[in-house]
Structure 1
Amino acid sequence: MGYYTLSACSVNLTGIAASTQKKLSRYPQVPGALIGRLAVDVRRKGTGLGAGLLRHALQRCLEQSRELALTVVVVDALNDDAQRFYERYGFVSLIEQSRRLYLPVATLASAVN
């Protein structure tokens, strides 16, 4: 019906909005989790399964954030519809990569609920 993958990644701090940068580490790159390949069978589109998978992935990131020192969760939107989907959950485009979006780990609790 649907699936997603999680993997480690890093994000250049210069790609993150200045207001968010102030709350993150001062290293040139910040550690993150990449939610990859989030997909739902076309027959299940519009049923809420994608939202449920995203919430599950974010919950897993939140649970692992201290052990893995995560500061952001990253997604790659394949098209405008996917980008709007992620933006509804608070994801913001990286400055020079509009299809790559991030969500600070500090905001995960509100995104999961």
Structure 2
Amino acid sequence: MKVERLDNKKHNRKAFDCGIAELNLYLQQFANQDQKRGLARVYVLAEQDYIIGYYSISAHSIPADRLPSNRKLGVYQEVPFLLLGRLAIDKPYQGQGYGGNLIFHTFKTTIETAEKVGIQGIIVDAKDENAARFYQKFGFIPLSMTKNRLVLPFVAIKSLIKNEP
């Protein structure tokens, strides 16, 4: 089992069911298109062609005034981040730590990206309060004025990777 880029010819997207129709539909119908258009990259945790889980990631920016007060960055109006757009685990594998595996893969992707492009960290739009609590377990903090939008600064990501079990 490994994390790799979604490959339309290799991975069976139709069998995936995380229990949330919107996340299933994205993987089954739109993920490959987003990759082709350069809008997002989609990574899957797979066992051969079977997708256990996936996430999408893309470039994004947020207004500087939405950052926590200790993260203000001078005169910049917009601040660059990576957007963790979607993250889902197939129902038989939920609750077994695979979501955490994918989160740590996003951390590594963020570190690799930050070495080449200026970014401040990762943001995520949690689907609901349960999802927000999941992300908060990894250190994500809520942004002001936006329900369930959370941020994890690059400095925190480096610390988490350094202490990864």
Partner of 1:67: helix, strand, or coil?
coil
Is residue 140 of structure 2 the alignment partner of residue 91 of structure 1?
A: yes
Is residue 63 of structure 2 the alignment partner of residue 12 of structure 1?
A: yes
TM-score by length of 2: 0.64
In our comparison, the structure showing a higher alpha carbon Rg is: 2
Whole-angstrom distance in 2 between the partners of 1:4 and 1:98: 21
Q: Considering fraction of residues, name the structure with more helix.
A: 1
Q: What root-mean-square deviation, in Å, do the aligned CA atoms of Structure 1 and Structure 2 show?
A: 1.2
Per-residue CA deviations over 1:70-105 (Å, capped at 9, x if unaligned) read 112111100111100100111111100131111111
Identical positions, percent? 33
Is residue 136 of structure 2 the alignment partner of residue 82 of structure 1?
A: no
Per-residue CA deviations over 1:52-74 (Å, capped at 9, x if unaligned) read 00000111111111312011211
Whole-angstrom distance in 1 between the partners of 2:133 and 2:61: 23
Instruction: Name stretches of at least 5 consecutive residues in structure 1 with no aligned partner.
Output: none
Deviates more, 1:87-96 or 1:102-111: 102-111
Cα distance, 1:20–1:44 mapped onto 2, change above 3 Å = same
How much has 1:31 moved relative to structure 2?
Answer: 0.4
Written as runs of structure 1 = structure 2, the 5 A alignment for 1:100-111 is 100-111=149-160
Partner of 1:19: helix, strand, or coil?
helix
Give the match for residue 75 of structure 2.
26
How much has 1:25 moved relative to structure 2?
Answer: 5.3
Deviates more, 1:25-34 or 1:39-48: 25-34
Instruction: Name stretches of at least 5 consecutive residues in structure 2 with no aligned partner.
Output: 1-51
Q: How many residues align?
A: 111
Q: Considering fraction of residues, name the structure with more strand.
A: 1
Whole-angstrom distance in 1 between the partners of 2:74 and 2:57: 22
